[in-house]
Amino acid sequence: MSANTPLRGRPRARRSSTALTVAMGLMLLYALLPLFWLVMSSTKDTGSLTSSFGLWFGDGFHLFDNVWNVLSYDDGIYLRWFANTLLYAVVGAGGAALISTAGGYALAKYRFRGRTALAALVLGAIAIPGTALAVPTYLLFSKLGIIDTPWAVLLPSLVSPFGVYLMRVYAIGAVPDSMLEAARIDGSGEIRTFFTISLRLLAPGFVTVLLFSLVATWNNYFLPLIVLSDPEWFPLTVGLNQWNSLATGAAGSGATTTGFYPLVVTGSVLAIIPLVVAFLFLQRFWQSGLAAGSVKE
């Protein structure tokens, strides 16, 4: 199963259908046109944002001005948000992927008392909606005194029951018991075997969990919105929405500051780029990992 199943290469000899290609082309347009609008809009100043046609350039090319304004506004707060997001995503998603991999590996490859119960716990935890816990998490964390610190965002990001589930399914197929036995006979300790041999075999599953946790943490909005009030610790999502509130005047000052629109639009474009690039470059890995998780139930 899974690990070595080639995703491409099924022999195809059939004629391609124009009607089908056109229909799917409409769906592709639906997916990409709004993003094209966003990129076009990031080259416009406030005036031509409202006056020019959305799917083409406006008067003048203001992309570099906009980027400069985004990066320099408020002593470079955007860069701070970017760095925060990077921290939350790298530590949160990296930690979640590693913890989930170890957990799934334990359930798949070790026989210990309570294992069945823990596997059931993982399955049950998938159905517990993360955001229903946001308000209680805030209350608990304020008791613990870690509100308004990176810990409040990082700790909940480390839990990924679905990651454990996926890695368990993946480990059953990808790590042969005979190999673990051989490592034991050679005198390799269990932990060393995990880091030097098993982790390599689990790589596609690991990358899949990593990427999906990366999306979850990079895009996280609800939890940081609740547990952070100091803009210095905001991730991009909370910061961008704050700028939007300033632009629409919903922030309470009453005055609409339309000058913020190019900032929101350009800041959004810059916020999207890292994830899209990560997905494009790592697609070979995560697509085979996804295949494992979606068929074995």
Partner 1 sequence: MSTSNPPAQATTDRPTGRSRRASRSDRLGHGSFGYVFFAPFLVVFVIGIAAPLAYAAYLSLFQDRLVGGNVFVGFDNYTRALGDDLFRAGLWRVTLFLLVQVPVMLGLALLAALAIDSGRLRWPALFRIGIFVPYAVPAVVASLMWGYLYGDRFGLIRQIGDALHVDVPRLLSDSWMLTSIGNVVTWEYVGYNMLILYAALRTVPQELYEAAEMDGAGEFRKAWSIKLPALRPALALTTVFSIIGTFQLFNEPNVLQSLAPDVVSTSYTPNMYAFNLAFNGQQFNYSAAVAVVLGGVTAVVAYAVQVRSMRKEQSL
CA atoms of 49 and 252, how far apart (whole Å): 24
- C-alpha 23/C-alpha 242 separation (Å) is 38
Q: At what angle do helices 236-248 and 260-281 cross, to 10 degrees?
A: 150
Report d(CA 78, CA 243) in Å as an integer: 10
User: Torsions phi, psi of 256, nearest 5?
Assistant: -85, 125
Residue 278 near residue 214 (C-beta atoms within 8 A): yes
Smallest separation, CB 254 to partner 1 (Å): 13
Stretch near partner 1 under the rule CB under 8 A, chosen from 4-12, 59-67, 72-80, 199-207: 4-12
Minimal distance in Å, beta carbon 16 to partner 1?
Answer: 5
Interacting residues with partner 1 between 27 and 56 (CB under 8 A):
27-28, 30-32, 34-35, 37-38, 41, 49-50, 53-55
171 close to 205: Cβ distance less than 8 angstroms: yes
- Residue 267's alpha-carbon distances to 149, 221, 281, in angstroms, are 24, 16, 23
**Binding to partner 1 by residue 106, rule CB under 8 A?**
yes
Check binding of 120 to partner 1 (CB under 8 A). yes
Q: Would you give the DSSP letter of residue 55? A: T
**Which region, judged by CB under 8 A, interacts with partner 1, from 59-67, 70-78, 128-136, 199-207?**
128-136
- Choosing from 72, 131, 196, 253, the residue that interacts with partner 1 (CB under 8 A) is 131
Q: Does 26 bind partner 1 (CB under 8 A)?
A: no
CB of 135 to partner 1, least distance (A): 5
What would the two tokens of residue 295 be? Answer: 């068929």
C-beta of 181: minimal distance to partner 1 in Å?
Answer: 7
Give me the count of residues in the chain: 297
What track of x and - describes contact with partner 1 for positions 157 through 196 (by CB under 8 A)?
-xx-x--xx--xx--x----x---x--x-----xx--x--
Largest CA distance in the chain: 74
Q: Minimum Å distance from CB 68 to partner 1?
A: 20
d(CA 14, CA 3): 28
- Of 69 and 168, nearer to partner 1 (C-beta) is 168
**The token pair that represents 105 in the structure block:** 């590996």
In the complex, the smallest distance separating the C-beta of residue 291 from partner 1, rounded to whole angstroms, is: 4
Tell me whether residue 103 or residue 206 sits nearer to partner 1 (CB atom). Answer: 103
Whether the Cβ atoms of residue 205 and residue 101 lie closer than 8 Å to each other = yes
Given 77, 107, 174, 175, the residue binding partner 1 (CB under 8 A): 107
How many residues make contact with partner 1 (CB under 8 A)? 117
Site for partner 1 in 198-257 (CB under 8 A): 215, 218-219, 221-222, 226, 236-238, 240-241, 244-245, 248, 250
Q: What letter would DSSP give residue 175? A: S
How many CA atoms does the CB half-sphere of 190 hold within 13 Å?
A: 6
**Nearest distance in Å: CB 43, partner 1:** 14
Which residue among 21, 72, 196, 253 contacts partner 1 (CB under 8 A)? 21
Smallest separation (angstroms) from partner 1 to the CB of 64: 21
